[in-house]
Each structure stands twice: as C-alpha cells, then as structure tokens.
Structure 1
Amino acid sequence: MRAGYALDGSGGCIADARHHAIAFLDRAHAVHHLPVSDRVKDLTRLVVSELVTNALKYAPGPVLMELRIDAHAVDVVVWDSEPTVPAARGADPGRIGQHGLEIVEAVTVDLYTERQPVGKRITARIALSDNPVRRTGHDDA
C-alpha cells in the first residue's frame, strides 16, 4: 500500500503531513489488517515531522511525501529540491536544536538518501515489529 502527498509549505503543512501519515496507517490497519501499534504511529508522526520540517527549512520549492507499508515496515519518503545530502551532527548535549536527523536515525531501522536528477529523496524505514533489526544507514551520493 502506498500514498503520495504534495506539500505546499504553508503554515499548517507539517501538521497536515502528520495527519496524512496517521490516516494512512489507520487505513493500512483497517483494510489490510497490518499490525500498526501506537508505537509505530508515534514514531511515524515523529519521523514525518522531522523530515518534512528539514525539507521545508533547507530546500527551495515543493516537498513531496510518499508513505509505503508492507507486512514488516512503513517507509516515510520525502523528496525536496535541495541536492545537498544531510548528515547527522555529532552528539553535543549543549547544542540547542538541529537534532532532527539524529532523532530519525535513532528511531528507524534504515535511513538512506538518494540523489535525484533534481534534489534528493530521503527514505526512513520504521519497523512494525516491537523488536526491529537495525541496519546501517547508507547514502547513495
């Protein structure tokens, strides 16, 4: 199951993206009987918030979000027009802000960035299982 959304960058579009994600997960559970726990909903909402916020903050132009789900995981895919591949910053408890990518890395089983002819696409995979096997992230830079 998959769904795509164009985000216009308006004041409420991050909240709209989170609402789209939860409605998508609710449909996946209701229609396909996939095991979508509250943990998965919370993590998906968090990942959507962080990735969409970063795209809107650092990339000019439109942002596209795609959600995909299968029996094992939900993928949050965000495309933006900025070709620079983001990198998580080193741990610094004194730093205020700019922890978004660190947070996404911590709660996902896989995170990777693919450069596109225009911009980049970031995919974050959230396990449906409560005991996920984590893979190492990779960049396709």
Structure 2
Amino acid sequence: MRQMACENETRPLEVRRELSMRVFVDGQPLAWARRTARDFLARARDAHRVAVSDRVMDTVQLVVSELATNARTYAPGPCLLELTITDSAVEVSVWDSEPTLPMAHAPDPARIGRHGLESVAAVSLRFEIRREIVGKRVTAAVALADAPAGNPEGPVT
C-alpha cells in the first residue's frame, strides 16, 4: 500500500488492484486459451501476490473454455478474450462478432451437450450477456476468495 504525506501525518492511500490482459483467439486451439488464462493467473499470483487458489485457477480455465468454445462454434471470425482481476474476482469476458445472444437452457439431465452456459452461470458470482455495436460480449466473474471450510453454498461474496 502506498503512503501519502499530509501535514506531518502519514495515512494509507487506498489503491485499487486491477490487472488485466486481452488476446484475440483466432486459429489457436482452445487449449491455448486455457493455458493463456492459467499463465496470466500464475503471473498475478507470483509477481503481484494476488491470492489465486487452485479452485480459482481451475474455475477460470473452465469458464474460458466454455465461453471460447461457444464463440468459436457459433460466431464467424475471431473472438477477444479479456481477463481482469479486481479486489474480489477474476472477470472473464469473451467478445465475438455474432449478434445473436446465446440462451442457457433449463437444466435437463437427459440432454446431451449444451450445458456450457449453465455451468458457467453456476460457478460465477455474476454472469452477463450483452449485445454490443458489433457482436456480443459474455462476461462471468469468478470469486477470488474461497468459501469457508464446510460452507456448501460456495464462494464468499
């Protein structure tokens, strides 16, 4: 935390921690997108001392995989992957050029496939699908804080 001098008094200056990266996923395998997310989180943990647990690492890679798969499957052209770490979450955002908004289906254990958005929404603090001037953006926020031991309700908000 930085310090600010103020008339012979030193007070902490609040600094909002935010780290981010953007990459186009165009022609690379989906494993590349997952690896890019994992490497970004590892750098945040090692170089910036962000608390990134194994749960966060795994969950972010799942979200990246699902959102990038949808973009590659249903949209023409490249997609843009953005990862942002705030004080409380890792925000995963995928933009693509297809204007049609995806819809999560009602849970159906008999359905084969098409559970990706359901899964992403289930592991996210926030989940948003937004149309943009060109295409759409799907954003999910994964909590940085792990749930307390014995709390089956998931992440602390």
Normalised TM-score (structure 1) = 0.90
Matching residue of 2:15: none
Mark the runs of 5 or more structure 2 residues left unpaired by the alignment: 1-18, 148-154
What whole-Å deviation, never above 9, does each CA across 1:90-139 have from its counterpart, x for those lacking one?
Answer: 111110000000000111110101211100011110001113256xxxxx
Whole-Å separation in 2 of the counterparts to 1:9 and 1:57: 12
The equivalent position to 2:107 in structure 1, one of 69, 74, 91, is 91
Q: Number of paired residues?
A: 132
Whole-Å separation in 2 of the counterparts to 1:117 and 1:19: 30
**CA contact 2:25–2:81 (8 Å) conserved in 1:** yes
Identify, as 1 or 2, the structure richer in helix. Answer: 1
Matching residue of 1:112: 128
Runs of 4+ in structure 1 off by over 2 angstroms are: 131-134
Matching residue of 1:47: 63
SS in 1 for 2:134: coil
Whole-Å separation in 1 of the counterparts to 2:51 and 2:156: 17
Question: Which amino acid counterpart does residue 5 of structure 1 have in structure 2?
Answer: V
Q: Does 1:21 align with 2:37?
A: yes
Matching residue of 2:97: 81
- Higher RCO structure (Cα 8 Å, ≥6 apart): 1
Structure number, greater radius of gyration: 2
What whole-Å deviation, never above 9, does each CA across 1:59-85 have from its counterpart, x for those lacking one?
Answer: 011111011002211011100001111
**CA contact 2:125–2:142 (8 Å) conserved in 1:** yes
The equivalent position to 1:127 in structure 2, one of 137, 143, 146, is 143
Question: Which amino acid counterpart does residue 102 of structure 1 have in structure 2?
Answer: E
Whole-Å separation in 2 of the counterparts to 1:118 and 1:33: 36
**CA contact 1:109–1:133 (8 Å) conserved in 2:** no
**CA contact 1:4–1:64 (8 Å) conserved in 2:** yes
SS in 2 for 1:117: coil
Matching residue of 2:26: 8
Q: How does 1:30-69 map to 2 (within 5 A)?
A: 30-69=46-85
Deviates more, 1:1-10 or 1:36-45: 1-10
